Amino acid sequence: MNRFGVAVAVVVSCGALGMFGAFVSQAAAAGSDDRVVAETILKEVEHDEAHKSLAAEAVANAHSALERAARMRSGGDEAHARLADGLARDWAEGARDLVGAATVETRAHAAQRDALDAGARVERERALLEEAIARVGRLRAQLDDAEKEKVAPTPVNVTAVGDGGASKKAPAPRTGNAAGNVKATDAGAP
């Protein structure tokens, strides 16, 4: 190998080691971040009074894992301490997910109740509308009957046309007295 080839091999191997070192440091940072993330999530979950009892077991397990990580760290076992921090983060995220699921479930029940109430309201309004339409139909029928009675022809004196076109008078109306006797009146009688 010439000098150029050796230089390239050294640079490549150093670069690979540099990337591996960066990966190791990122993993170490992620391990310490697990503890910070877990503690942050636990603070949020513990302040949610409505769902505190729901997530109590997951929160207790997360705190237990954080305490184990602290004991391991104080004993010099950083690798297992990072694993315990990761476990604590998983428990904390599980607690957060439980609270989130409970919140979504509460909203879903409220939405379902509102939808059922809206459906019942629509049915009541539909029934009221149908009743109003029937009432309008009955009123129209009554108005039509009233107008038919109003324009009905009134009886008129009709003259009869007989033989040769001579007209005859209609019979005279009858009048009665107090005794109930009825007598015919004739216009031509004295």
Spell out the domain ranges in the chain. Answer: 8-130
**Which runs of consecutive H residues, i.e. helices, occur in 47-152?**
56-74, 78-150
The answer to whether the pTM exceeds 0.85 is no
For the segment 52-75, what is each residue's pLDDT rounded down to a tens digit?
A: 888 889 999 999 999 999 999 999
Q: Spell out the residues 6+ positions from residue 167 whose beta carbon is closer than 8 angstroms to its own.
A: 159, 160, 161
Q: Quote the pLDDT of residue 68.
A: 95
pLDDT, mean of residues 29-39: 77
Joined tokens for residue 141: 């029928």
With H, G, I as helix, E, B as strand and everything else as coil, classify residue 173.
coil
Q: Quote the pLDDT of residue 150.
A: 82
